[in-house]
Each structure stands twice: as structure tokens, then as C-alpha cells.
Amino acid sequence: MEEDDLILRSKEGDLDAFNRLVEKYQRQVYNLALRMLGKAPAAEDATQEALLSAFKGIGGFRGGNFRAWLLRITANACRDQMRFWRRRPVVSLDALVIEPEGDAQSPEDYALRRELGDEIAKALAALPADQRLAVILYDIEGLSYEEIALVMTSSLGTVRSRLSRGRARLRLYLEPRMELLP
């Protein structure tokens, strides 16, 4: 079934149709939340909140890019989670562990990929939220500048500048560690 039909049926309250959309996008939603928040439990909460908000608010979706609309809701849910976690005791950067994925990894390969993931997670955590969002959406999730502008409700110039500043900061953090990384 076409995405437009699923959206239309979801607007009429058809949960099965909406869950087909969830199935299609939950990987991107969860990964955005995971990279934004750096913690799997917080990412699960943000993903669930975002998808529920999307189901409740789908009546307000006026067409256009559904993925960008859904990721905008996810980014907002992440902001709520960040506010929630800011009020909690500070989590050590060591907690920002994201298990790498891949088929038939050797233990060495797994360790190297995990090390890479850890370093990038720490570097991302050090970025301001808007720059982190731009870097994740472009460099990890593969959205275009135009889609990111829709997610951030900002201009292309703003996207360009946030991505540029975010990468410059990542470089400052990662460059001294580059030789140690796989």
C-alpha cells in the first residue's frame, strides 16, 4: 500500500495502517534518538513518545514529507528527554556505549568498531543539540539538506552552518584520536 494511503487511513484512526508506517520508520526514529541521547533506555522512551505523539497528531499533518515530519517530532521528544535527564544525576560519558552491528564479526573487528562507535558517541555528545541533530541527520541517517531544513524548520543556510560548525567541533575532538581509531 502506498504511503499516502497509509497516512490517510491513519488520519481516520486506523491503527494497523499507522503501525505499517511505524514499521517502515522506527529504525530511523530509534537511531536518531539513540545518537541524540546516547543512552538506549532514553532512546526507547523518546522513540515511543515520538510515535505516540505522531499517531495522536497525524490529523495535523498537512501532507509533504512524512519522514521529515516524523523526525521533527522525534527531535522534539529527544529535547524533552534531554530536559528530563538534565534534572537527573549526570551520566558518565562511559555510559554512552552503542553496540555495533554487523554480520560475522571477528572479536577484533567487533572491538575496533565498538571503539569507533564509543569515540563518535562521545564526540557527538559534546556538540550543542542543534549541531548534533544536523550531523546525525546528514552524516549518519543520510537525509538531504532540504529534508534537514524541514526537520529543523529552518533555512538551508542554517542547516549548512550548523553542519559546518558541528563537523568542525567533531574534528577538534576526533583528530587527535584518529590514529588510534580503526
Partner 1 sequence: MFKPKSECQKVKGMLSPYIDHQLTSSEQGVVEAHLERCQACQRELESLQAVVNLVHRVTMVSPPRSFAIAEAVPKWRAVPVAVFSAATAVAVLFLAFFFVSDALNLFASEVPVGVEERLGETGLLAEPSPDMAGGASDVAEAGYETVENWPFWQLEVAFSVLVVILGAMTLIWWLKRRKVMERG
For binding to partner 1 (CB under 8 A), which residues are involved? 13, 15, 18-19, 22-23, 26-31, 34-35, 40, 44, 47-48, 51-52, 55, 98-102, 113, 116-117, 120, 135, 138-141, 145, 160, 163-164, 167-168, 170-171, 174-175, 178, 181
Closer residue to partner 1 (CB): 68 or 121: 121
CB of 117 to partner 1, least distance (A): 7
Fill in the DSSP letter of residue 89: P
Give whichever of 35 and 67 is closer to partner 1, judged by the CB atom: 35
Least CB distance from residue 26 to partner 1, whole Å?
5
**Maximum distance among all Cα pairs of the chain, rounded to whole angstroms:** 55
* In contact, 71 and 32? CB cutoff 8 Å: yes
Measure CA of the first residue to CA of the last residue in the chain; give whole Å. Answer: 42
Q: What type of residue sits at position 131?
A: Q
**In the bound complex, what is the minimum distance in angstroms from residue 109's beta carbon to partner 1?**
12
Between residues 19 and 154, which has the closer beta carbon with respect to partner 1?
A: 19
| Residue number with CB closer to partner 1 (90 or 173) | 173
How far apart (Å, rounded) are the C-alpha atoms in residues 182 and 179? Answer: 8
Work out how close the CB of 70 gets to partner 1 at its nearest, in angstroms, rounded to a whole number.
Answer: 12
Instruction: Between 29 and 68, name the residue whose CB sits nearer to partner 1.
Output: 29
Q: How far apart are CA 182 and CA 170, in angstroms?
A: 17
Report the SS3 class of residue 92.
Answer: coil
* Euclidean distance between CA atoms 151 and 72, whole angstroms: 5
C-alpha cell at 121: 558517541
